[in-house]
Amino acid sequence: MSTLPLIELKSVTKTYGQGATALQALKGVDLSIEAGDFVAIMGPSGSGKSTAMNTLGCLDTPTTGQYLFNGVHVETLSRDQRALLRRRYLGFVFQGFNLLARTSAQENVELPLLYRGEPTKMRHAAAKKALASVGLAGWEHHTPAELSGGQQQRVAIARALVTEPAVLLADEPTGNLDTQRSREIMHLLWQLNVDHGITVLMVTHEADMAAYAKRILHFVDGVVDSDTRNPNPTGASHGGPDPHSMSHPAPAATEAN
């Protein structure tokens, strides 16, 4: 029995602008990603990583070519249909965390469920569970300003997880963090991938962070230049995280990265 790949890009191009100023950001990308994979996307600035992530995240459509998500032709969907697909299957994590500033961790994590019209009780329970799953039990009522950078990124990851997505798309998730917090966040993503089977697609500039992935793609000038399997992802070879670094006891942290 052959299983369908979760994600397939077939000869995908993306051109910005028209005529003399047209710029081809993707020049024919073929890519197949199985459910449960952990893919790091690397490459120099301007090589098409963000454009590829926007396409994979159903935020933008290819100019030509096909994008199949779970067998569905995304390039044929309307904007609203793509929004539904995103809400149902995808979770997003960004370099700058993108949390609401004066809003508690709990409320930030509940937001996607609020948009989905879930009842209060369900939202509370699901957000609490998601925060616990990223090591933030006891931190529910803290605002982003009362949390370290690493903790803020954990809240953002909990917000992405609360809808139980099939795929987590992370755009330089450790770009604003120091090395230790970066490793903790990568370990968390690795755990989510291994323990919960969430497919992870992550853009990173750092080889150390890409080393946590099972597969590393290098984009160069709008195409996938290399596609390699990582036989020994960092998370696996390190056994387990330091429990003290994974779960910060409440209340207030004083770190400020």
- Taking CB under 6 A as the criterion, the residue among 31, 37, 42, 49 binding ligand ADP is 49
Spatial CA neighbour of 6 closest among 165, 118, 122, 155: 165
- Does 218 participate in binding ligand ADP (rule CB under 6 A)? no
Q: Are 192 and 200 in contact (CB under 8 A)?
A: yes
DSSP 3-state of 187: helix
Residue 8 to residue 66: CA distance in whole angstroms: 8
Q: Given the rule CB under 6 A, which of 42-50, 88-96, 172-180, 209-217 is the region that contacts ligand ADP?
A: 42-50
Q: How far is the CB of 78 from ligand ADP (least distance, A)?
A: 20
- Does 43 participate in binding ligand ADP (rule CB under 6 A)? yes
Q: How far is the CB of 45 from ligand ADP (least distance, A)?
A: 4
Q: How far is the CB of 82 from ligand ADP (least distance, A)?
A: 17
Q: Are 213 and 39 in contact (CB under 8 A)?
A: yes
Q: Given the rule CB under 6 A, which of 47-55, 73-81, 115-123, 155-163 is the region that contacts ligand ADP?
A: 47-55
- Does 215 participate in binding ligand ADP (rule CB under 6 A)? no
- Does 115 participate in binding ligand ADP (rule CB under 6 A)? no
- Does 95 participate in binding ligand ADP (rule CB under 6 A)? no
Residues contacting ligand ADP: total by CB under 6 A = 12
- Does 47 participate in binding ligand ADP (rule CB under 6 A)? yes
- Does 18 participate in binding ligand ADP (rule CB under 6 A)? no
Burial class of 143 by CB neighbour count within 10 A (0 to 12, 13 to 18, 19+): middle
Q: How far is the CB of 25 from ligand ADP (least distance, A)?
A: 3
- Does 100 participate in binding ligand ADP (rule CB under 6 A)? no
- Token duo for residue 71: 């067998």
Q: Are 39 and 215 in contact (CB under 8 A)?
A: yes
- Does 173 participate in binding ligand ADP (rule CB under 6 A)? no
Q: Which residues are within 8 A (CB) of 254 and not within 5 positions of it... i.e. 6 or more apart?
A: none
- Does 23 participate in binding ligand ADP (rule CB under 6 A)? yes
Residue type for position 102: R
Distances (CA, A) of 73 to 3, 61, 166, 169, 204: 17, 11, 17, 19, 27
- Token duo for residue 11: 């000869």
Q: Given the rule CB under 6 A, which of 3-11, 46-54, 99-107, 126-134 is the region that contacts ligand ADP?
A: 46-54
- Does 16 participate in binding ligand ADP (rule CB under 6 A)? yes
Which residues in this chain contact ligand ADP in the complex, by CB under 6 A?
16-17, 23, 25, 43, 45-51
